[in-house]
């Protein structure tokens, strides 16, 4: 793949190009990741259940650091981008080389590698860059292959893991525009908070579901999540042979 083509694709994802919507800020996680980046020189590994908001969180990190370090010093790559074609580690090397040649960072860059599990042997590239102290690196993935213990093995203890969960109830309220700054707000907004709590307990805190206004579509989204997680993150990881029993057990524990 030509380097010019790679840069054209990357420009749609990065703030030195077109940039992307960063969504609602996840303040707790954003501050935590930024504090780790200012601390020890380790790879930051972001993991967690599918659709918990990791990619939007990483865009927020990219935006924050682009403003602080300079846009050219931050590279965000989402490996679910089909136009990259290859899923071999050589593709990752080509992307990095194109970035260095055309964007020309003038400081130690921050590399944000999202959905990195799509690239075979990605850990070799990350370990190499980390050992040379060439870049700060954040990796992220949704697959069960990127659980914290797997990351610790792949990166040989070079990482600081951060698990991202769906929205807490406080975040849920923030997404809904219900600010709760203290006890006074709780008293004044009591009934609004209770109404939102009922919905939170029924539908949970997955960001896409929270932002969806139609109840039937909420249910459809959750069913899709359930099936995807069950098949991709449980059945395949643990090589379950009897899917019907797995589905029965999962439904039993949810009711």
Question: For residue range 212-248, what is the model confidence (pLDDT) as tens digits?
Answer: 999 999 999 999 999 888 887 888 778 888 888 998 8
Q: What is the average pLDDT value for the chain, to the nearest integer?
A: 91
Residue 149 domain boundaries: 3-163
Q: Which of 118, 142, 163 corresponds to the end of one domain?
A: 163
User: Per-residue pLDDT averaged across 167-190, rounded?
Assistant: 92
Distance separating alpha carbons of residues 137 and 111, to the nearest angstrom: 5
Distance separating alpha carbons of residues 255 and 244, to the nearest angstrom: 17
Residues 153 and 177 in one domain: no
Residue 154: pLDDT band (50, 70, 90) is: confident
pLDDT at 1 over 90: no
Residues 229 and 145 in one domain: no
> What predicted TM-score, i.e. pTM, was given to this entire model?
0.89
pLDDT at 148 over 70: no
Residues 65 and 93 in one domain: yes
Residues 145 and 45 in one domain: yes
Give me the helices (H) in the chain, please.
3-10, 27-38, 54-69, 89-102, 122-131, 148-154, 169-175, 183-188, 190-203, 207-211, 215-228, 243-254
Strand arrangement of the beta sheet that strand 159-163 belongs to: 74-78, 110-114, 136-141, 43-47, 159-163
Counted domains in the chain: 2
Task: Tell me the pLDDT tens digit for each residue of 77-130.
Answer: 999 999 998 889 999 999 999 999 999 999 999 999 999 988 999 999 999 999
pLDDT for the residue 22: 95
pLDDT for the residue 147: 64
Residues 53 and 159 in one domain: yes
159 with 151: CB under 8 angstroms?
A: yes
pLDDT for the residue 146: 66
Residues 95 and 212 in one domain: no
Residue 143: pLDDT band (50, 70, 90) is: low
pLDDT at 156 over 80: no
pLDDT for the residue 243: 86
Residue 150: pLDDT band (50, 70, 90) is: low
Locate 248 and state its tokens: 């029965």
200 with 172: CB under 8 angstroms?
A: yes
pLDDT for the residue 144: 63
pLDDT for the residue 238: 81
Residue 40: pLDDT band (50, 70, 90) is: confident
pLDDT at 176 over 80: yes
Residues 33 and 97 in one domain: yes
56 with 207: CB under 8 angstroms?
A: yes
pLDDT for the residue 85: 83
Give me the CATH number covering residue 110. Answer: 3.40.50.300
Distance separating alpha carbons of residues 129 and 178, to the nearest angstrom: 43
Residues 47 and 151 in one domain: yes
User: Per-residue pLDDT averaged across 141-154, rounded?
Assistant: 68
For the stretch 96-105, contacts whose Cβ atoms lie closer than 8 Å and that sit 24 or more positions apart, written own/partner, are 96/125, 96/129, 97/3, 98/3, 98/6, 98/7, 98/10, 99/7, 99/10, 99/75, 101/3, 102/3, 102/4, 102/7, 103/7, 103/16, 103/72, 103/75, 104/72, 105/70, 105/72, 105/73, 105/75
pLDDT at 145 over 80: no
């Amino acid at each position: 793949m030509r380097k010019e083509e790679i840069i054209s694709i990357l420009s749609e994802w990065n703030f030195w190009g077109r940039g992307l919507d960063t969504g609602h800020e996840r303040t707790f996680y954003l501050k935590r990741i930024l504090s780790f980046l200012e601390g020890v020189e380790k790879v930051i590994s972001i993991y967690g259940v599918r659709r918990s908001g990791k990619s939007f969180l990483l865009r927020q990190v990219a935006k924050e650091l682009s403003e602080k370090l300079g846009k050219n010093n931050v590279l965000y790559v989402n490996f679910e981008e089909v136009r990259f074609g290859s899923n071999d580690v050589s593709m990752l090397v080509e992307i990095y080389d194109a970035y260095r040649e055309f964007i020309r960072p003038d400081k130690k860059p921050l590399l944000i590698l999202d959905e990195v599990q799509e690239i075979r042997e990605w850990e070799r590239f990350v370990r190499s860059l980390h050992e040379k102290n060439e870049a700060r690196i954040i990796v992220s993935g949704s697959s069960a292959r990127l659980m914290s213990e797997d990351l610790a093995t792949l990166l040989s203890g070079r990482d600081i893991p951060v698990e991202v969960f769906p929205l807490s109830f406080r975040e849920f309220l923030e997404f809904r525009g219900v600010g709760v700054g203290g006890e006074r707000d709780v008293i004044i907004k009591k009934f609004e908070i209770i109404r939102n709590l009922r919905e939170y307990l029924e539908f949970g805190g997955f960001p896409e579901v929270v932002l969806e206004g139609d109840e039937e579509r909420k249910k459809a989204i959750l069913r899709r999540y359930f099936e995807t997680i069950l098949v991709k993150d449980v059945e395949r990881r643990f090589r379950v042979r009897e899917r019907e029993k797995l589905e029965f057990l999962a439904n039993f524990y949810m009711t």
